[in-house]
């Protein structure tokens, strides 16, 4: 399938090949590329490819290899699609370490090219959750979950086994964070270990974070980006938050330095920083770069790029005047530049930051860079957009057009009519410029008008940008015959930190104005959108907005879809886990300033509700507990408003299992069809 970017009045359309409409089943069956890792010599690229096992209702992951030094090379499968992840190169560029559960637990394995026979590296009694290889190839850094008072891995394994088999099921807690994301606290901490390597096998692991009551990497989404070896392999720097009583309302992550062989307590390098210090990256000369936030408690504060000199420890900020928040960081092999990923006006792009001058150069254009790895002359990246899922690209360090390396879904997508899309701008709240996207329905015919799916993003400090998502996929809605409209309202990142900050303490104010003006602007600009047939849909904060619209803009839509949405601010505060989030967004704990929460509390406007709503929630969602969805459904039913409730007993804040994803999309599209097509 070939795609073409065509400028239109300062905007752009993405035109695609013609074929059958894209379906929900297509979305679930797509192969997914993640975690590209280039070898130190730049000759090989290893990556993870996920395939869907519909019978098992799960994803299967395997490792693939692409020879970058040979023109026209095709990816080669290294391991079967089972449980293999986290490919990490040794410095010889021939030995590849990875994680696999093929032995029954997640352990470190290795491949020594050209052989494709995997060999076990570890056989420990606990699961290994992430890994890194030292620059000299003589040591592994790994993470495992342990009980802090256990000195041996076997002690932790025994206690976990005993807990799983005991008859009494109660758990006694002494402080908050009793549950997080979708898991209850079982008393363990994720800790960083190192182990010497000899003849391809790992020796006894040493807990180099011993004595620290904190998780390395952070939960629930931390990975090996939370720790880094020094260039000589003698030291490790990692990011961690001390789990004191205030952990649920703290974002104070610090950087700690420790000898790679252990033996001494970690040393805090950022004691003067009250907010998050994360993503440590060493330069070739031993200088340390990382990302730092300045405002405690604000998870969406701007991440600044910091640099600490190896000699003397002097600290300075790079690109201080660049008003973007960097989300990921890496160094070029020569140490002269850092490569950062950041939101930029509806795109998630790569930027080169010169270490000496702090000058910033944008390296990629439209689309979303999902992951990347840096070689001497190029960056190897997984890139996606609204028109297609991620494939691998080669991006020159000096900039220029990206070279596409893979087309893993070419057969499926080549037979589908993926829909065209366009970005647009309009004057939103207070006349300020706001960005949005519109996507045409599949098979659009001249002169006809089509119903509209108005998608509202969550976060709220995230972007409904030029990305491919499996949870709110615009192509799936377009394939169902809907025009799709999405707005990056006030609070979205990529437009300057002041724009991101503007939603805090104003959840139902500026964003609602932007949504109202954005929908009106789209309807005026694109006559094929039928403004009389519109449904709004959103999750998380977007779900809050559905409940807010019910009471504050109830006449506009024929139907609403509320996924994991906040219904009652009071009970949300007292039942969610990450308290730093509501305390920043509303300025204080609920008990200190109830009115700040009640000002934008959907439960206070139920008397005005009138729009049919589909409510969806996962029972394992601890971020916005499922009783919020149940309460919204109760309000709808008690008022006699047409409504449905879809509950997923085994899903968290997201819907991840293939069969559940298919059910989600078919239920949602069926709800839209009933109100907009029949």
Domain ranges of the chain: 122-156+187-269, 413-676
Count of all residues that appear for the chain in the document: 678
Distance CA 513, CA 371 (A): 34
Question: What pLDDT does residue 72 have?
Answer: 84
What does residue 672 show for φ and ψ, rounded to 5 degrees? Answer: -65, -45
In this structure, the number of other CB atoms found within 10 A of the CB of residue 520 comes to 12
Question: What pLDDT does residue 244 have?
Answer: 83
Q: Which of 554, 494, 501, 550 is nearest to 362 (CA)?
A: 494
Please tell me the class of the 413-676 domain. alpha beta
Question: What pLDDT does residue 398 have?
Answer: 87
* Residue burial 230-251, b: 16+ Cβ < 10 Å; e: rest: bbebebbbbbbbebeeebbbbb
Question: What pLDDT does residue 678 have?
Answer: 77
Beta bridge mates, 321: none
Dihedral sign (CA 385, 391, 396, 397): positive
Give the tens place of pLDDT for each residue, 243-297.
988 999 999 999 999 999 999 999 999 999 999 999 999 999 999 999 999 999 9
450-456/529-539 β-pairing: parallel
Max CA pair span of the chain: 74
Q: Which of 218, 210, 215 is nearest to 193 (CA)?
A: 210
Beta bridge mates, 516: none
Low-confidence ranges of the chain (pLDDT < 70): 1-18
- Where would I find the H helices in 128-222? 153-165
Residues 6+ apart with CB under 8 A from 606: 550, 551, 635, 639
Beta bridge mates, 46: 37, 65
Residues 6+ apart with CB under 8 A from 321: none
Question: What pLDDT does residue 18 have?
Answer: 59
Question: What pLDDT does residue 71 have?
Answer: 83
Question: What pLDDT does residue 69 have?
Answer: 83
Residues 6+ apart with CB under 8 A from 655: 471, 618, 648, 661, 664
Give the tens place of pLDDT for each residue, 531-552.
999 999 999 999 999 999 999 9
| Helix/strand/coil percent split, the chain, to 5 | 20, 35, 45
Residues 6+ apart with CB under 8 A from 457: 463, 464, 472, 486, 488, 492, 538, 541, 542
């Amino acid at each position: 399938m070939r795609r073409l970017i065509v400028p239109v009045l300062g905007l752009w359309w993405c035109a695609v090949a013609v074929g059958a409409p894209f379906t929900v089943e297509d979305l679930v069956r797509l192969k997914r590329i993640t975690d590209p890792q280039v070898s130190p010599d730049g000759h090989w690229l290893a990556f993870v490819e996920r395939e869907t096992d519909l019978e098992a209702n799960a994803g299967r992951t395997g490792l693939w290899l692409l020879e970058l030094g040979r023109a026209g090379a095709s990816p080669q499968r290294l391991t079967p699609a089972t449980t293999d992840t986290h490919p990490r190169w040794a410095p010889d560029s021939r030995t590849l370490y990875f994680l696999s559960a093929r032995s029954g637990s997640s352990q470190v394995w290795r491949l020594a090219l050209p052989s494709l026979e995997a060999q076990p590296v570890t056989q420990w009694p606990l699961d290994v959750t992430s890994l890194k290889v030292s620059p000299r190839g003589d040591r592994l850094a790994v993470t495992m979950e342990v009980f802090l008072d256990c000195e041996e891995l076997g002690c932790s394994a025994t206690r976990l086994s005993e807990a799983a088999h005991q008859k009494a099921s109660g758990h006694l807690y002494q402080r908050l964070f009793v549950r997080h994301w979708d898991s209850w606290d079982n008393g363990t901490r994720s800790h960083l270990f190192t182990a010497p390597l000899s003849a391809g096998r790992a020796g006894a692991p040493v807990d180099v974070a011993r004595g620290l009551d904190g998780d390395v990497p952070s939960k629930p989404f931390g990975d090996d980006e939370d720790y880094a070896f020094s260039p000589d392999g003698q030291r490790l720097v990692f990011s961690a938050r001390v789990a004191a009583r205030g952990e649920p309302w703290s974002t104070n992550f610090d950087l700690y330095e420790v000898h790679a062989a252990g033996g001494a307590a970690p040393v805090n390098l950022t004691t003067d920083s009250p907010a998050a210090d994360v993503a440590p990256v060493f330069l070739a000369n031993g200088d340390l770069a990382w990302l730092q936030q300045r405002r405690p408690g604000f998870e969406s504060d701007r991440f600044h790029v910091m640099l600490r000199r190896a000699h003397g420890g002097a600290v300075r900020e790079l690109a201080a005047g660049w008003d973007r928040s960097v989300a990921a960081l890496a160094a070029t092999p020569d140490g002269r530049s850092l490569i950062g990923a950041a939101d930029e006006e509806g795109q998630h792009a790569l930027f080169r930051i010169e270490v000496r001058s702090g000058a910033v150069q944008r390296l990629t254009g439209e689309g979303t860079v999902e992951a990347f790895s840096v070689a001497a002359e190029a960056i190897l990246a997984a890139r996606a957009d609204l028109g297609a899922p991620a494939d691998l690209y080669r991006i020159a360090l000096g900039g220029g057009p990206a070279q596409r390396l893979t087309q893993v879904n070419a057969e499926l997508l080549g037979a589908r009519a993926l829909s065209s899309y366009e970005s647009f701008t309009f004057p939103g709240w207070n006349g300020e410029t706001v960005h949005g996207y519109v996507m045409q329905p599949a098979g659009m015919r001249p002169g006809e008008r089509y119903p509209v799916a108005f998608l509202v993003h969550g976060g709220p400090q995230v972007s409904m940008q030029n990305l491919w998502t499996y949870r709110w996929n615009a192509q799936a809605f377009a394939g169902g015959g809907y025009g799709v409209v999405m707005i990056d309202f006030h609070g979205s990142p990529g437009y300057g930190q002041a724009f991101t900050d503007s939603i805090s303490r104003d959840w139902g104010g500026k964003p609602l104005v932007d949504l109202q003006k954005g929908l009106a602007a789209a309807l005026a600009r694109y006559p094929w959108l039928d403004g009389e047939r519109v449904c709004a849909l959103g999750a998380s904060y977007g779900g809050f907005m559905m409940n807010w619209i019910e009471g504050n803009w109830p006449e506009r839509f024929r139907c609403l879809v509320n996924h994991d949405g906040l219904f009652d601010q009071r009970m949300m505060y007292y039942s969610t886990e990450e308290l730093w989030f509501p305390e920043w967004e509303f300025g204080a704990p609920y008990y200190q300033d109830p009115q700040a929460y009640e000002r934008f509390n959907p439960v206070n406007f139920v008397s005005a509700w009138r729009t049919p709503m589909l409510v969806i929630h996962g029972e394992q969602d601890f971020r916005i507990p499922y009783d919020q969805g149940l309460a919204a459904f109760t309000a709808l039913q008690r008022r006699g408003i047409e409504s449905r409730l879809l509950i997923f007993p085994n899903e968290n804040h997201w819907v991840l299992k293939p069969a559940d994803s298919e059910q989600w999309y078919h239920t949602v599209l069926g709800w839209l069809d009933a109100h907009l097509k029949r």
